Amino acid sequence: MPELPEVETIKNALERCLAGRTFAGVRIIDTRPVQRLSPEQFCNGLVGRRIIGLSRRGKYLIIGLSDGSNLIIHLRMTGALLWNPAEEEPFTRLEFFFDDGSRLVYTDVRRFGTMYLVTDPTEIVGRLGIEPLNGRFTAKALAGILKSRTIPIKSALLNQEHIAGIGNMYADEALFKAKIHPLRPAKSLTPAETRALHGAIREVLKKGIRNHGASIRNYRSPDGKTGTAHEEFAVAHRDGQPCPACGTPVARIVVGQRGSYFCQRCQHYRK
């Protein structure tokens, strides 16, 4: 958390607020998120720069600046970006101030989030795999990613160097929709199963964006509101609750050190 739908939601919201704004100041309360640069270098590199655009790559938010540099933010597990919060936010780590008097507050309970200020974004995001909502992500492309991999299909989906942006929740949802057990070896999927999984990945991610992300724990959009995607999850974080398709209690197992939720009946393990 946040995963692709959450970061896309944040990007879309901040685009309306930040485009054309100029950094007037930066307050660093906790230096831990700032990577590669000293706090002074980080602040000096931002102040006076105008924001010319926002984009997303995988789970990274990229803010393009007028001097050609880019502020790249990865929120990790508990990071949040809040636009003009009315009250003081606990766990505030950084504050960004703009020329119109507005501010963007970065909060992070567990302090895992990272920020980079670089000229070339590929220094940070260059190793990421294909974007699952990109037109180049076809069933054939997915088959090419999976064809020689013996690792569980769930682990393959979470590898950001294969496919960028899919996290734990949406992998579980996609596998459920495609009726594939999370422990199936990636290369064991049939062409029909690969096509089903390809469609399921795109569908659950798009649905997550429409619902403004999932607020399982700490995720909030920049206006402070929670997303609703989790309210429509079929299996993710629904351990013991009935499967919406067959009524079997949703099971939880660990795959690659990640909690994984699935229906033992709908996603029966077939070799």
List active site positions.
2-3, 59, 258
Residues 76 and 219: their CA atoms lie apart, in Å, by 11
Please confirm whether the linkage preceding 2 is cis (ω < 30° from 0): yes
Residues 218 and 79: their CA atoms lie apart, in Å, by 8
Residue 262 near residue 253 (C-beta atoms within 8 A)? yes
45, HSE (Cβ side, Cα atoms, 13 Å) = 21
249 DSSP β-pair partners: 242
List all residues 6 or more positions away from 166 whose beta carbon is below 8 Å from its beta carbon: 3, 4, 132, 157, 158, 174, 201, 205
List all residues 6 or more positions away from 51 whose beta carbon is below 8 Å from its beta carbon: 18, 19, 20, 21, 22, 23, 63, 64, 65, 66
Residues 250 and 261: their CA atoms lie apart, in Å, by 7
